[in-house]
Each structure stands twice: as C-alpha cells, then as structure tokens.
Amino acid sequence: MSGPPPILNQAPFTLENLPYGVISSSQNSTPHCATAIGIHAIDLCKYAETREFNFDSVKDGQLVANALKQSTLNEFAALPAKLRQQLRSKIQDDLRQGMVPIKCLVPLSDVKMHLPMKTGGYSDFYTSLEHCQNCSGEMTSSKTFNIPKNWFYAPSVYNSRVSSVVPTPTDIRRPKGVYFKDGMDGTPEYGPSQKLDFELEMGYFISKPVPYGERMPIASAKEHIFGFVLLNDWSARDHQLFEMRPLGPFHSKGFGTSISNWIVPMEALEPYSCSPKNVQDPPPFEHLTWPGKADGALDIKLSIKLVRNGKTHELSKSNLKYLYWTPYQQLTHHAGAGCGMETGDLIGTGTISGSGTDSQGRKTELGCLYEAERTKTDVVPLENAKYNGYLEDGDEIVLEGWCEDAEGKVVLGFGECRGKILPAN
C-alpha cells in the first residue's frame, strides 16, 4: 500500500485547488477567510481590501468583498456560484501573474485553523456497501439478514451532533458511557470506551440553501454543495452496541468528529467526476436517479495512517467513488422530506470502504477497525493492541485525500484530518 505521494505533505494546495478556510495568525488573531497556495495562506479579507474586483458589476464585486470580511465562510458560500467562480478565476490569474500582494500572504506554519463554517445541522450517512457488508448483523441485532432491505431503496442517514465537530488537530477525549460487559444484552456497566475506533469519511458543506418545506431535483444537487473536506467520525463501538436499539447512534458518535480544515470547492473537484464503482440494483427511485451521463461520483483517493509511539503505519486506503449512494443522491434524499438545508450544514458521506485485497488476500480497504474485528482481518500493527485491536490512548489517526490526473500525477490534496486520543477523565 503506497499512501499519498510525499509531495502531498508539502503542497496539497495547488493552483488547481485553492481551498477555502478560516485562519488566524500572530499578525491577526481574529478568525478571517483565507485560501491556500503552496506553503502560504492568502488572507482573503486583506486581498479583498487591496485588489479591485471588477466582476460583471460593481455590486457583484462588493458582494464578494463583503462576504470575505466575515469570520466564517457562510456568507461567501451563500453567494451565487458564478460570483464564487469569478473570485477563483481572479485569484488564479493573480497568482499566475505574480499580482497577489505580499502583505496578503501568511506562512501556513504561522496559521491557526478554525472551523470554516458556522454549522446548523450535521447529518451522517451510511452508504458504503462494503462497509455495511463488513459491519451488518451485530449492530442491528438480527441474524436473519445482513443488510436491511430499506438500505437499497434510500440512502440511510442519521442526525449527528453539531457541537462535537472540531477542526484538525483537536485532541479527542476517550468518552465514558454505558456498555454491555459480556456482549449483547450482557451486564451493563458505565465506564470509558474499550473499543475506540475511527471512521474514514468525507464531509461536504452546503452552499445554496433549500428552504424548509421544499425539495430539490437531483439535477441541481451540485449547486448546493460548496465543497468537500476529510472527516473522521470517531466511534465508541461498545457504547454504540449498547445504544443502537431502537434510535441509532448518539453518544457513541457524539464525543467528537474531526474534519480537515480546508474546504476544497466543487469547482476544483468537477474535473474528477466519474462513474460510481457500484451499479445500483435495484435501480433507484426516479427522484434519486442521476440524469444524463454516468458522472455522478467523484474520484478522490483516500488513505488512513496510524501514529503510535512515534511511528507511522499505513492502515488502509479507499476512494470516494466506492460509495454505493453518491453524495448527490444523499443530498437529494436528505432534502426530500422538507427538513430545510441551510448554508453551512455539514453532511458526512459515511464510512468509505472498498473491496481491495493484497497479495495474501487480506482486505486493504477497510474504513474502520470495527470492520477489521468483524471480518477477522489483522490490521498491522494493531494485532497486539491492548484494546482488542482498537485505539489506545496517545494514538493519532491521520486521514489524507487527493485527486490525480489521467497519468497518475497528484493535482490537488485536502491536507490532513488529524486527531489524537486523550485518556478518559
């Protein structure tokens, strides 16, 4: 397993990327909007004050400039896509021509990252077929089926906890909760999780809202997505097994969700549109059927690393296109009952697993450790771990993601999604 090329660690932030984030620095301790290029952030607040935005109209330029002066990206993301595209083109032109004023540049090493958006709702999906095949059974407490029938007719999803979404590299405290000591319906005990896990996901933020009480057609789903981040849905598997019946996950997910800090915009990801890996059988309902050509997925390569005792281990790899239900299908389903979607809402794709194996037939695309336990896959170096192959205090999990061109050259990356486990208190 190779993981991302080394260059990614240096410069995931290329001219083709220009992700959006919220930074502060020693020069300006107030959180403000930024983009990133190479080893620098560009302070977009200063940039808007310095450069003239001659867009279609003076008013358009002022709208963009005002949005970039806010402390979150919400106002900017809510602008029409055309205006955001015009800003992106201007920054690209200015970079190519050396016209970005030096006073707008901040070394990334001097930057503190904040949550990029104010989020009103955070929902998390469960839409990877391989993940479900590897997990099903125990959590649903049924021996009569592997994956419930409903899963194949609509993307499965739950509301998660907004207040527990944290930026990289926030430490994650091992949570206390109730678990069955001796397996399902055994003796209930209250204490620190003994089966602490990660989940490899991506997340996407909403740009254009869907008003409460309304739906949207799948053909316009892209317009409602501002961009993507990496997302680690930390999970306490013993607490989860206890609480799943009948209302689904709560505490077992609500103690922390880490995201990478830079939102890679849809404009940067469009060139990586592709067919989903899986053919949907049964075919989806009409309102969930992607129109036109087979480009409803995104080809984004993913990897998981574990840092334990100072040593880095590559655990697994995956790809966003492996999802059975694509992000556009997810979003269309989500908005479908009229719940309302607001700018800044965060959607987790659900764990993204694949079916890949190595030369010894060992699974190499597992999206979490629970899958390793359930499928009896040794995930080196966890075989000797104290917690039955789960995370130990002090462990760090690092998710990475990137897009490659047709020749396999990395064009852009997401930066890291990173978090370290603190002992229970």
Catalytic amino acids?
131
Contact between 251 and a copy of itself per CB under 8 A:
yes
Contact pattern for a copy of itself over residues 164 through 193, marking x by CB under 8 A: x-x------x-xxxx-x----x--x-x---
Question: Looking only at residues 201 through 220 of this chain, which bind a copy of itself when binding is defined by CB under 8 A?
Answer: 212-213, 215
Contact between 141 and a copy of itself per CB under 8 A:
yes
| Torsional sign, CA 302, 264, 419, 367 | negative
Return the closest-CA partner of residue 19 out of 42, 3, 1. 42
Q: Tell the smallest beta-carbon distance from residue 301 to a copy of itself (Å).
A: 27
Would you state the structure tokens that stand for residue 199, as one six-digit string? 């989940």
Indicate which single residue of 15, 78, 105, 244 sits in contact with a copy of itself (rule: CB under 8 A): 244
Q: How far apart are CA 397 and CA 419, in angstroms?
A: 6
Contact between 78 and a copy of itself per CB under 8 A:
no
Contact between 21 and a copy of itself per CB under 8 A:
no
Contact between 148 and a copy of itself per CB under 8 A:
yes
Contact pattern for a copy of itself over residues 95 through 134, marking x by CB under 8 A: -------------------------xx-x--x--------
User: Residue 347, Cβ neighbours under 10 Å: how many?
Assistant: 27
CA–chain centroid gap for 71, Å, is 21
DSSP secondary structure, 338-404, as one string: S--B-TT-EEE--------B-TTS-B---SSHHHHHHTT---TTGGG-SSTTSPPTT-EEEEEEEEE
Q: How far apart are CA 380 and CA 329, in angstroms?
A: 35
Contact between 43 and a copy of itself per CB under 8 A:
no
Q: How far apart are CA 325 and CA 354, in angstroms?
A: 14
Which among 34-42, 221-229, 245-253, 258-266 is the span making contact with a copy of itself, rule CB under 8 A?
A: 245-253
Which among 109-117, 306-314, 341-349, 378-386 is the span making contact with a copy of itself, rule CB under 8 A?
A: 341-349
When the beta carbons of 22 and 379 are compared against a copy of itself, the nearer one is: 22
Return the closest-CA partner of residue 229 out of 49, 95, 6, 413. 413
> Contact positions toward a copy of itself, by CB under 8 A?
120-121, 123, 126, 139-142, 148-150, 153-154, 156-164, 166, 173, 175-178, 180, 185, 188, 190, 212-213, 215, 236, 239, 242-251, 254-256, 285, 287, 336-342, 345
